[in-house]
Amino acid sequence: MSTTLDLDHAATAPVRRSALEAMWPALTGVYGNPSSAHEAGRAAAALLEDARARVARAIGARAGQVVFTSGGTEADALAVLGTVRARILAGRPAGHVLTTGIEHSAVRQSCDQLARLHGVEVEHLALDRDGLTSADDLAARLRPVTALVSVHLAHNEVGTVQPVAELAAVAREAGVPVHVDAVQAAGQIPVDVRALGADLVALSGHKVGGPKGVGALWVRPGHALEPLVPGGGQERGRRSGTQNVAGAAGFAAAFAEAEVERAAAADAWSGLRDRFAARVLDGVRELVPDARLTGHPTRRLPRHASFVLPGVNGESVLEEAARRGVLASAGSACSAHDAEPSPTLLALGLSEDEARTALRCTFGPDADAPLLDAAADAIVDAVRTVTALR
C-alpha cells in the first residue's frame, strides 16, 4: 500500500484539528489557574466550564455532574475505589463487588486493591463465548452486601457491546450502584447516561480525537464518592489538583465532533466493518481454516473487527502488515508489552496458543471501502508470508 492506514484506533485516535483549535487559547492567552479569583483565573474557569458543559451535552447530562480526570484509567479507578470506600466509611454494606473477567486493567486492579486492602470479595459475572453477560446472571449473584457492579459498555479487544441498560435496571432494583466504562464506546455508539441507567460513566479524551491525559467521570447526583486525590478540593471535591484546562477544551471539542460523525455514519461504519472482516476471513480461509472473528458478530462496535488465526503467530502477522503500511494490534494497548496471552481471550474460552494469534483492526471515522479493501488484502498477504515460513 502506498498510504499507511492506521487500524489501531482503539489504542488512540489522532488529535482532531477542532481539538487543537479549542486548546490553543488555554495554552496561550487564557493561561490562568481556574481556581484563581482574578480576571485571568476567571477566564480560564470559563473555558473549563464551557468544556464541562459540552462533554455533559454529549452524554445527556448536566455540567455539574462531570468530573474531569487525567484519563479513562483514573476515571475507572475513581468510580470503583471511590464508590466502595465511600460506602465503607459510611458504615454501609460493602463486602462484595460484581464485575467481569474482561474489564480494563484499571477496573481489574482497582478491584484487586479493594480485595487486598479492604477484604472485599470480587466476583465475576458469567460470559458467553462472545463476551456477553446477562441480566439473569447478575440478578442471581447480587447480595445484600454488594457495593458495586462494574461493567464496560463496549470491549476494547473484541468489540462486544454489553446490555448495560438491562444490567443497570436489575442492579437499580436491588439498590446497587453501577459503574460503566464507556471509554471505547464514545464516538461510536450512543453514550446517553439516562438511557444507560448507570450511576457512574467513565470517558477518555484521546479515544475520540482529543489529547491524551484528560478524561471524565459522570457521577449521578447524590452518589457518594471518596476522592482518590486529596488537596485543594477542585472538581467539587471529587478530584483535587489544578485542572488541565487545555486538555478539557480539546476533549470537549473532539467529543462534540465525534458525536456528529457518529449520528451520520454509524450504519455505514458497520457495513464497512462487515465488508472488511469478510474480506480478511475469505482471504485467509485456505491458509488458516480455523480463522474466525472474536466477539459478538453483530452486537459490536461499528469500527472494530478482531480475529484469531489459529496456528499463526499474531506478532509476526502484525510485523508483516506494518511492512505493507497497515498498523494494527494484538489487543489492548495497555498490555501490549506483556508477553502473556490476553486475559480477555482466555476468559472467553480460547487456549493460550489461540490467544497468541489475535489480531485487532479498528479503523477511524474517515476510512472508506477502497482503503479498507486494500488493508484487508495487505493483511491476507501478511498471513500468507507468515504461513509460508512455518
- In three-state secondary structure terms, 110 is helix
Contact between 325 and 382 under an 8 Å Cβ cutoff? The reply is: no
As given in the structure block, the three cell numbers for residue 292 are: 474466525
Report the sign of the C-alpha dihedral through residues 224, 208, 338, 288, in that order.
positive
Q: SS3 letters for 175-203? A: CCCEEEECCCCCCCCCCCHHHHCCCEEEE
Helix (H, G, I), strand (E, B) or coil at 82: helix
The catalytic position among 122, 145, 229, 334 is 334
User: What distance lies between CA 275 and its chain's CA centroid?
Assistant: 24
- 163 close to 132: Cβ distance less than 8 angstroms: yes
Amino acid at 176: V
Confirm if 13 and 208 have CB atoms less than 8 A apart: yes
Active site residue 361: no
Instruction: List 154's β-bridge partners, or say none.
Output: 161
Alpha carbon distance 74, 190 (integer Å):
22
- Residues comprising the chain, all counted: 390
Cell numbers at residue 337, please?
Answer: 508489552
- The dihedral of CA 57, 301, 262, 2: what is its sign? positive
* CB distance 141 to 125 below 8 Å: yes
Secondary structure tally for the chain: helices H, strands E: 12, 12
User: Measured between alpha carbons, how far is 388 from 390 in angstroms, rounded to an integer?
Assistant: 6
Helix/strand/coil percentages in the chain, nearest 5: 45, 15, 40
| Full DSSP string of 300-331 | B-TTEEEEE-TTS-HHHHHHHHHHTTEE-BSS
What residue type is assigned to position 373 of the chain? Answer: D
Q: What's the farthest any 2 CA atoms get from each other in the chain?
A: 70
Query: Residues with catalytic annotation?
Result: 334
